[in-house]
Amino acid sequence: MRALVVDDSTAMRSVLRLIFKKAGFEVLEAANGYEALNKLTEDSTPVDLAVVDWNMPVMNGYELVTKIRSDERYNGMRIMMVTTESEISHIQSVLAKGANEYVMKPFTPDTIQEKLQILGLSAGA
């Protein structure tokens, strides 16, 4: 399985990379939505999960989710928002645009593992 971790924080990408590698994922990284879209289009191997922060420069997470969901090539990709954005309206809007799960920062590895199980992307699923 492959995960694309999209966050402008190098430290957060590192933390998430470790969690997803331990869960058996090959991990790709991008610092913003624009970079993430480029990685998706440059690499023909499918990505099973995009892990997306909301607040990023160039292209934010909401915009990225909208772009991914508008492209049928990524219909099978699951999207997990992992962000500090806690306003109910933001959560509802990104879920309505096609995100499958939402995790609030700070989080624990167990929280991520639970979400992977919900998404059917875990050994325990």
CATH of the domain at 109: 3.40.50.2300
- Residue 93 is assigned to a structural domain of this protein: yes
**What is the average pLDDT across 21-28?**
95
- Residue 80 is assigned to a structural domain of this protein: yes
Q: Which domain holds residue 75?
A: 2-118
What pTM was computed for the model?
0.92
Q: How many CB atoms lie within 10 A of CB 98?
A: 16
- Write out the two tokens for 94: 């990104």
User: What Rg value do the Cα atoms of the chain yield, rounded?
Assistant: 13
**What is the average pLDDT across 6-24?**
96
**What is the average pLDDT across 5-10?**
97
- Residue 104 is assigned to a structural domain of this protein: yes
Q: Are 4 and 36 in contact (CB under 8 A)?
A: yes
Q: What tens digit of pLDDT does each residue of 49-71 get?
A: 999 999 999 999 999 999 999 99
- Residue 8 is assigned to a structural domain of this protein: yes
- Residue 111 is assigned to a structural domain of this protein: yes
**What is the average pLDDT across 96-105?**
94
- Write out the two tokens for 39: 């990685």
Count of domains observed in the chain: 1
- Residue 43 is assigned to a structural domain of this protein: yes
pLDDT tier, 125 (very low <50, low <70, confident <90, very high otherwise) = very low
SS3 state of residue 20: helix
- Residue 123 is assigned to a structural domain of this protein: no
- Residue 57 is assigned to a structural domain of this protein: yes
103 pLDDT higher than 60: yes
Q: What is the 3-state secondary structure (H, E, C) of 30-99?
A: ECCHHHHHHHHHHCCCCCCEEEECCCCCCCCHHHHHHHHHCCHHHCCCEEEEEECCCCHHHHHHHHHHCC
